Amino acid sequence: MAVELYLDLLSQPCRSVLIFAKKNNIPHEVRNISLMDGEQYGDHFGKISLIRKVPALRDGDFTLTESPAILLYLAQKFQTPEHWYPADLQQRARIDEYLSWQHCAIRLHGSKVFWLKLMIPEVLHVEVPKEKMEAAVEELSGSLKLLEEKFLQDRPFIAGGHISLADLVAIVEVMQPVAAGLDVFEGRPKLNAWRDRVQAAIGKELFDEVHQNILGSQERVKVMDGSKLEFSKAKILNFFM
C-alpha cells in the first residue's frame, strides 16, 4: 500500500522527503498542501498533523510528522540501500549528529535569508533594514562554514564515502537561499564540489524536478497574491525581523 505524503515543495523538508521517496521507488501518493493558501489549517489536515506543519505522512492508520522521523521511517520500512542510514554505529551517529544540529542552524539561517531577501520585501511589501539582511547572511555563512569544516571535513559526504540522509537534508536547506538570489556556492569550492556530488548521487533530473518550483521563486513572487499571507503576516515578521 502506498504511503501518503503531505507536501509543499516550497518547504525544504518536503523536498527531502519527496526526493527520498522517488529515488528509492517507494510507493507513495502526494497530497499537496499549499502553505501560502493556509491549507495546513484545514480540518482534514488537522486530523493528519495536530502541529499543522508539512511534511506529514500517513501509512494506513499511522501518521507521522517531522522530516527526519519520516525519512527514517521510510528507510527502515522499505529497507532502502544501507548508505542512506548505515548499520555502522559511527556512520549512523554522524548522520544523527547532523540531523540534530541542522534545525536551529542551517535550516533557520537559510530560511531567514529566503524570507528577508525575497518574500518579505516582494510579497509582504515590507522593507528589510540593510543591517538585518547583512546579519542574516553572516549567520548563514557561519552555518555553511560549520557544514564544511565540521560535518564534511575531507570526506566526500557527511557520513563518509556515500550519500546519506544527512546530505539529503543538508542540500535542500542550502538551496533555499539560492532560490532567493544568494549564491552560497561562490567562493566555497568545497561546498560547490559537495553539491555536485550530491546532485549526481540523487540524479540531476530528479534534483531539478523537485527544486523547479523553489528555484523559480524570484519570478513567482511577481504574481503572488500577498493578501493570502495577511493572516500570518505579523507572525512572520515577528519571527524573521
- pLDDT given at position 96: 97
**Could you tell me which of 7, 3, 15, 4 has the C-alpha nearest to residue 175?**
15
**Could you tell me which of 187, 190, 121, 203 has the C-alpha nearest to residue 155?**
190
Distance set, CA 156 to CA 57, 68, 148 (Å): 31, 22, 11
pTM of the entire predicted model: 0.96
CA gap 111, 109 in Å, rounded: 5
Give residue-wise pLDDT tens across range 48-93.
999 999 999 999 999 999 999 999 999 999 999 999 999 999 999 9
Give residue-wise pLDDT tens across range 16-56.
999 999 999 999 999 999 998 889 989 889 989 999 999 99
Three cell numbers at 127?
Answer: 522593507
**Could you tell me which of 15, 196, 194 has the C-alpha nearest to residue 111?**
15
| 26 φ/ψ angles, rounded to the nearest 5 degrees | -80, 125
Give residue-wise pLDDT tens across range 194-213.
999 999 999 999 999 999 99
